[in-house]
Amino acid sequence: MSRSMRVRALLTALGVLTTVGLTSCGGDDDSSGNASPDAKSSSASSGGAAQVAVTLASGGSGDTCTLDTDSVEAGPVTFTVTNESATGITEVELLSGLKILGEKENLAPGLGPVNFTLTLGGGDYEIYCPGATEESLPFTVTGEASQSTGGSTQQALQEGATEYGTYVDTQVSAMLDGVKKLQDAIDSGDLAAAQEAYAQSRVYYERIESDVEGFVLPGFKPTDNNGNLDYLIDMRASNIDPAVGWHGFHAIERDLFGREKITAGTKKYAAELTKNVTKLVDVAKTLTYAPEDLANGAAGLLEEVQANKISGEEEAFSHIDLLDFAGNVEGAKEAFAYLQPGLEQIDPELTATITDRFDAVDDMLDDYRDPNALGGYVLYTPALRKTDANKLSQSVQALQDSLSRLAEKVATA
- How would residue 22 be classed by pLDDT, with cut points 50, 70 and 90? very low
Segments of the chain assigned to CATH 1.20.1420.20: 153-411
Task: Give the model's pLDDT for residue 18.
Answer: 28
Task: Give the model's pLDDT for residue 23.
Answer: 32
Distance (Å, whole) CA 157 – CA 171 = 21
Using a pLDDT cut of 90, give the percent of the chain over it: 61
Distance (Å, whole) CA 133 – CA 154 = 41
Task: Give the model's pLDDT for residue 104.
Answer: 85
Task: Give the model's pLDDT for residue 263.
Answer: 98
Q: Provide the CATH topology of domain 45-142.
A: Immunoglobulin-like (2.60.40)
**Which of the listed CATH numbers 3.40.50.300, 1.20.1250.20, 1.20.1420.20, 3.10.50.40 matches domain 153-411?**
1.20.1420.20
Task: Summarize pLDDT for 206-262 with one digit per residue, the tens.
Answer: 999 988 776 778 888 877 889 889 999 999 988 889 999 999 999 999 999 999 999
Task: Summarize pLDDT for 249-301 with one digit per residue, the tens.
Answer: 999 999 999 999 999 999 999 999 999 999 999 888 888 898 988 998 999 89
Report the pLDDT averaged over residues 22-35.
35
Closest CA to 322 of 304, 307, 309: 309
Task: Give the model's pLDDT for residue 26.
Answer: 38
* Residues 7 and 293: beta-carbon distance below 8 Å: no
Element (H, E) at 161: helix 153-188
Segments of the chain assigned to CATH 2.60.40.420: 45-142
Rounded to 10 deg, the angle between the 191-212 and 153-188 helix axes is: 160
Closest CA to 185 of 273, 111, 81, 114: 273
Q: Which of 60-74, 95-109, 182-196 reaches the highest mean pLDDT?
A: 182-196
Task: Give the model's pLDDT for residue 317.
Answer: 96
Residues present in the chain in total? 413
- How would residue 31 be classed by pLDDT, with cut points 50, 70 and 90? very low
Strands 75-83 and 49-59: parallel
Closest CA to 204 of 235, 238, 167, 229: 167
The whole-model pTM stands at: 0.75
Report the pLDDT averaged over residues 83-106.
87
Beta-bridge partners for 369: 377
Local structure of 135: helix, strand or coil: coil
Report the pLDDT averaged over residues 386-405.
93
